[in-house]
């Protein structure tokens, strides 16, 4: 199995990023709060199911302040920022669309990521269905696709809002050094369990 550095901590990302020098990370792939509040649970019956599973949405009431983006751009050379349409970011040529392959309902049929790259816009199609430990959980394969297109071996990867840990698992499978922060203690523990279970399963498959 790939040998790489994985440093994941339960803390505020602003405190975490402050420890690193300028442009330390080659690529930041982040999914900060969009500021949707209760709207994240407005998807009819499915929205009610999400609220039952994940409780009241307190972590997504506000978007990050400008200080967050200033620090993110300081510590990383390139960025992929999910929810780019909710933030005040510079114009970019490379927009990424994640098509969730959903029907027409109250949930977004696709999500947008802003990037710092200068390439044609791209689209990735994969359902978001599956077991969830986080309401905004994204597929592992989505992160593997992003790493395959926008990172090269030896790059250091940053995730400031780890959430479900999909980015961590993808980085492990592809052999990237990975650093991440997660403020919420419950989500941090949940992604730890998910990560360890996934790695254990991969090791069993190699036997």
Residue 32 in any domain: the answer is yes
Distance CA 90, CA 114 (A): 9
pLDDT of the residue at 131: 76
pLDDT of the residue at 71: 98
Q: Report helix, strand or coil for 154.
A: coil
Predicted structure pTM score: 0.86
Angstrom CA distances, 18 to 8, 10, 23, 79, 126, stand at 15, 15, 12, 17, 35
The count of domains in the chain is 1
Residues contacting 44, CB < 8 A, separation 6+: 105, 106
Domain extent for 16: 6-206
Residue 143 in any domain: the answer is yes
| CA angle centred on 27, ends 26 and 29, rounded to 5° | 160
- For residue 126, count other CB atoms closer than 10 A to its CB: 15
pLDDT of the residue at 91: 96
Mean pLDDT, each 10-residue run in order, the chain (207 residues):
82 98 98 74 48 51 91 98 95 96 74 97 86 86 98 97 96 96 96 94 79
Residue 163 in any domain: the answer is yes
Residue 1 in any domain: the answer is no
Residue 146 in any domain: the answer is yes
Distance CA 141, CA 190 (A): 19
CATH of the domain at 41: 3.40.50.150
């Amino acid at each position: 199995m790939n040998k790489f550095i994985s440093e994941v901590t339960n803390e505020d990302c602003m405190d975490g990023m402050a420890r690193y020098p300028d442009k330390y990370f080659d690529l930041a792939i982040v999914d900060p709060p969009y500021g949707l509040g209760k709207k994240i649970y407005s998807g009819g019956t499915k929205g009610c199911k999400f609220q039952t599973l994940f409780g009241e949405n307190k972590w997504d009431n506000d978007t990050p302040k400008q200080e967050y983006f200033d620090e993110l751009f300081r510590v990383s050379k390139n960025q992929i920022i999910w929810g780019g349409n909710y933030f005040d970011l510079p114009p970019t040529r490379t927009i990424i669309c994640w098509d969730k392959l959903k029907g027409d309902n109250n949930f977004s049929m696709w999500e947008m990521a802003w990037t710092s790259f200068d390439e044609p816009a791209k689209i990735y199609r994969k359902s978001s269905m599956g077991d969830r430990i986080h309401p905004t959980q994204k597929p592992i394969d989505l992160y593997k696709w992003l790493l395959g297109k926008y990172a090269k071996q030896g790059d250091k990867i940053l995730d400031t809002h780890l959430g479900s840990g999909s980015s961590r698992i993808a980085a492990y499978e592809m052999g990237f050094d990975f650093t991440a922060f997660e403020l919420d203690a419950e989500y941090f523990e949940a992604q730890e369990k998910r990560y360890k279970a996934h790695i254990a399963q991969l090791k069993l498959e190699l036997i």
